[in-house]
Structure 1
Amino acid sequence: MVKMADQHVAELNIARLKHDINDPRIADFVNNLDRVNAAAERSDGFIWRLELDATATDVVVMNDPHIIANMSVWRDIDSLERFVFQTIHKRIYARKAEWFDAMDKMHFVMWPVSAGHKPDLNEALARLEMLNTQGASDEAFGWDYAKSSGLWRTESCDSSAA
């Protein structure tokens, strides 16, 4: 994948909660959302994240109230990767099995966007569907397709759907 100076990278990550968002078994996840989002916003390379009038946990994705979405734009893949694997995000990510079901398809996708573009959820879901139906390409990919990324390998990040 060739990085153009006028391009950034967008990402979408969806997850299916094991329990209702108000269930005490999900409380540690919910209680850390603001910390993780604040860490993202302070991170070098962060550009934008999806913020709605409601919280991200109130947005119904794929007609399933237990699926939540996170979407953001970063200067480059390396910036996103440093945030994911070298900040508080890593500790929360390591506990994902406590709060989320394994999904039967890929749930994370990255794609290039023009500088200044803020994708909407429909665009992001279309990229995820593209990855799931057509495989990785310059238009929709995961960590294993991004040649510059490597932290996901050393941090034992599985590139599968789980």
Structure 2
Amino acid sequence: MAAAWHLAQINIGRIVAPMDDPRMAEFAAALTEINALAESSPGFVWRLKDTGGDATSIQAFPDPLILVNMSVWTNVELLKHYVYRSVHGKFFARRQNWFEKSETAHLALWWIPAGHVPTVAEAKERLALLDERGPSERAFTFREPFHAPTEGSTS
């Protein structure tokens, strides 16, 4: 039986310089490899991308230096494994080289019906909800995850 729910995620970050700045060169050079790794990882379902194959040209916020990343996974454990235990984790550990520290929520997770593709607007609402109310079944974090809804409920 196919899963009724998938896990959506958004993470955002304000980069220290425009993508074509030399300070962003290592990050920019790794995007193709890291995105391919995500797409080939167990549990991967979908990711937001532009015509260039990544999401760096998608301006979801008024500040053009805020990058948005969105994806859908089958469960929290497999997403967490990709984020922290794959090659991605080595880049994630060095995020301060490319991203400013955020004072607001920069990651939100939430359950969606399998087959649903979340919109950027929906994802921004989940980040705002997390900022306003803290973790809940509607928007949560790796630190405080929530189980997928039971049959018949909506997230």
Q: What TM-score comes out, normalization by structure 2 length?
A: 0.89
* Aligned twin of 1:151: none
> Displacement, 1:61?
2.4
User: Which of the numbers 39, 42, 63 marks the counterpart of 1:41?
Assistant: 39
Corresponding residue for 1:12? 10
Q: Which residue matches 2:91?
A: 92
Q: Aligned partner of 1:67: which letter? A: I
C-alpha displacement of 1:134: 1.1
1:101 paired residue number: 100
Instruction: Name 1:53's counterpart in structure 2.
Output: 51
CA offset at residue 102 of structure 1? 0.6
Q: What stretches of structure 2 of length at least 5 have no aligned partner?
A: 148-155
Find out whether 1:79 has 2:62 as its counterpart: no
Point out 4+ residue stretches in structure 1 off by more than 6 angstroms: none
Q: 1:124 to 1:147 in 2, by over 3 A?
A: closer
Please name the residue that 1:140 is paired with.
Answer: 139
- Percent identity of paired positions between Structure 1 and Structure 2: 37
Q: CA RMSD in A?
A: 1.5
Pairs aligned (count): 145
More helix by proportion, 1 or 2? 1
SS at match of 1:127: helix
Q: How many Å apart are 1:58 and its aligned residue? A: 1.0
What CA distance in whole angstroms lies between the structure 2 residues aligned with 1:93 and 1:75? 21
Look up the equivalent residue of 1:92 and give its one-letter code. F
Displacement after TM superposition at 1:147 (Å): 6.3
Distance 1:5 1:137 in 2: 21
- Residue 5 (structure 1) shift: 3.7
CA drift at 1:62: 1.6
Aligned to 1:70: 69
- Say which SS state the counterpart of residue 97 (structure 1) adopts: helix
Indicate the residue corresponding to 1:27 in structure 2.
Answer: 25
2:151 alignment partner in structure 1:
none
Instruction: Give, in angstroms, the shift of residue 144 of structure 1.
Output: 1.3
Structure 1: give runs of 5+ residues left out of the alignment. Answer: 149-162
Give the aligned residue type for 2:76.
I
